[in-house]
Homo-oligomer: A and B are copies of this chain.
Amino acid sequence: MKVTLSALDTHESSFTPLVVIELAQDVKEETKEWLKNRIISRKKDGGAQLLFRPLLNKYEKETLENQNLYLVGASRIRLLLGAEAVGLVKECSDDTMRAFMYGTRHNFKGFDDDNDDFLTMAERQFIIKHELESLRARDEKMIPGYPQAKLYPGKSLLRRLLTSGIVIQVFPLHDNEALKKLEDTWYTRFTVKYQPIDSIRGYFGETIALYFGFLEYFTFALIPVAVLGLPYYLFVWENYDKYVVFASFNLIWSTVILEVWKRGCASMTYRWGTLVMKRQFEEPRPGYHGVLGINSVTGREEPLYPSYKRQLRIYLVSLPFVCLCLYFSLFVMMIYFDMEAWALDLHENSRSEWTGILLYVPSIIYAIVIEIMNRFYRFAAEFLTSWENHRLESAYQNHLILKVLVFNFLNCFASLFYIAFVLRDMKLLRQGTFDDYLELFLQFGYVSLFSCVYPLAAAFAVLNNLTEVNSDALKMCRVFKRPFSEPSASIGVWQLAFETMSVISVVTNCALIGMSPQVNALFPESKADLILIVVAVEHALLALKFILAFAIPDKPRHIQMKLARLEFESLEAFKQQQMKHVAENLKEDWREGGKESAP
């Protein structure tokens, strides 16, 4: 269902709605009343202290079941207090990045008591989402009106409402005016230009801005490879030395671009405040469950779940399951290759029209099976990762991505590896294989893993990404429901995935060069010598790669200095706080003493 509600579509202006809660059709009045109470009642009474009202829009009444849509907003002060609670980091007048606090609000750049621009709409919606998710059960044993929807102290109400089908969805509203403005600078003009990453961040949040930033960076980074690859394709350069040049360039390139991205990403997220934001000190993600207790780091009351239990779940259940799926996937691939060989055999023997059609059957069956497996696997991966019970959203995401990634990598590249290294059929390997399904990671795989065989891969990738930027932007703005902003400091486990891919690419490129007929012709008498030389070169390249990655600092120096400054100031403040405590205790002792000695 696509919802086109926006903040301006609502007539009542008692508050600016930011988030919509859609309830199921048959929700009991009792439940609605209880939910409303929990949302609007004060913090100290266990509420979220937000504004809440049903959507009463005559204009849209015909098309939407309005009685089940509720708008959530918050007063200005409530939003600022929420910004402090979620730990948003903003720039101060003295150019430092500081955790926002309501009490020190006038220290921050761009803060004005009469102006709402200080928090971006994405931030305000993130705050509302956080406050809704932080609503936890107190003494309720169940959701009123739904005895089967059990609650226990500390259970996230919103999560229980969602899992028991009472709340259908919670989503942030679009702001048509801001969206139009963003679109104008982003993708409507058909010229190649930088994207307005900061504006994207303002509207969609850091995670999505980082995706587009990475997409843009990666596309630009691909250009040298694309340019270098062209002559290899045009002049069919297949000599040994030219191959080596291309593969070596590729190796250095893939290492350096990933390191440079890390640095650029740190600069960007420092500016946005998310690099400094300590998300590990936040409250746990709503799906996190456990016995209510005191977090030993923050001292706050929250559900606790022992880490060793999570480790056991990961290593004894999730890991074996993933390995099993990978094995099964390889097994299916082998059957596919057997079927294809059988069909080819049949066709060559009879050469009828019927067997000609039969040739396509294995591929079709394989594609269908892979798709089914993929969907099943993704479902299982989500279930398992959720069951692993990670405290932080980022840990949940990283574990989920890692699972999905490994499987997709195997499915996309296993057949290529098999063709390249077992069948050794370079012609088969050279069929282009781009389709909409491949994401950047797989693209990077094609560009880096088999660079010598596909010299055009990078050029295609550049062309693809130039259109991808626009189509992804269009999807974000017009097709998909607006997502909640998610502050993030880096591309997370993707960085690791890309780095792993670039290590694997050293191995594959060396192997491909070693297998080329030209190189083999240089060692007519001894294949063993050839392999030894290739392996030695490969080890040297890998060593070089690790040294490069080690020698290039992950953060630019000025960012390192600023982070060190922040750490230093915090430690100093902590010392002063301890001093103050001692002074206060002394004063207290002195007063007590005074009282006692008084007659």
Interface residues of A (CB under 8 A from B): 98-99, 101, 103-104, 106-107, 278, 280-281, 296-298, 307, 507, 527-528, 531-532, 535, 539, 557, 561, 564-565, 567-571, 573-579, 581-583
Contacts and interface: CB of A to CB of B under 8 A. Distances in A.
12 contacts: A99-B575, A103-B582, A104-B581, A107-B578, A107-B582, A281-B571, A296-B561, A507-B539, A528-B528, A528-B531, A570-B571, A570-B574
Given A280-B564, A528-B531, A567-B278, A106 B574 contact: no
A106 B281 CA distance: 30
Given A296-B565, A564-B280, A565-B296, A101 B571 contact: no
Contacts of A568: 278, 281, 297-298
A573 B577 contact: yes
Q: In the complex, which of the residues A104, A107, A565, A581 has the most CB atoms of chain B within 10 Å of its own CB atom?
A: A104
A104 B539 contact: no
A497 to B, nearest CB: 13
Contacts of A573: 570, 573-574, 576-577
A570 B572 CA distance: 8
Nearest to A577: B573
Nearest to A534: B535
A128 B395 CA distance: 46
A413 to B, nearest CB: 15
A569 B561 contact: no
A95 to B, nearest CB: 12
Given A297-B568, A507-B539, A531-B535, A103 B579 contact: yes
Contact of A571 (B278, B507, B575, B576): B278
A307 B556 CA distance: 11
A42 B348 CA distance: 99
Contacts of A575: 99, 101
Residue of A557, A561, A577 with most chain B CB atoms under a 10 A cut-off: A577
B101 A579 contact: yes
A577 B577 contact: yes
Copies of the protein in its oligomer: 2
A293 to B, nearest CB: 13
A22 to B, nearest CB: 37
Contacts of A574: 569-570, 573-574
A104 B297 contact: no
Contacts of A527: 527-528
B528 A104 contact: no
Given A296-B565, A557-B307, A571 B532 contact: no
Given A104-B578, A564-B297, A577-B576, A571 B307 contact: no
Contacts of A528: 527-528, 531
Contacts of A582: 103-104, 106-107
A234 to B, nearest CB: 34
Nearest to A558: B296
Contacts of A569: 574
A507 B557 CA distance: 36
Contact of A579 (B104, B281, B561, B581): B104
A103 to B, nearest CB: 5
Nearest to A566: B574
A577 B297 CA distance: 20
A281 B106 CA distance: 30
Contacts of A99: 571, 575
Given A99-B571, A307-B557, A527-B528, 9 more contacts: A104-B581, A278-B567, A281-B564, A527-B527, A528-B531, A570-B570, A570-B573, A573-B573, A577-B577
A515 to B, nearest CB: 11
A582 B101 CA distance: 11
A107 B575 CA distance: 12
Contacts of A578: 98, 101, 103-104, 107
Nearest to A581: B104
Contacts of A297: 561, 564-565, 568
A577 B507 CA distance: 54
A527 B99 CA distance: 64
A558 to B, nearest CB: 9
Contacts of A104: 578-579, 581-582
A565 B297 CA distance: 4
Q: Which of A103, A571, A579, A582 has the most CB of B within 10 A?
A: A571
A582 B106 CA distance: 9
Contacts of A106: 582
A537 to B, nearest CB: 12
A581 B107 CA distance: 10
Contacts of A296: 561, 565
Contacts of A307: 557
A250 B24 CA distance: 61
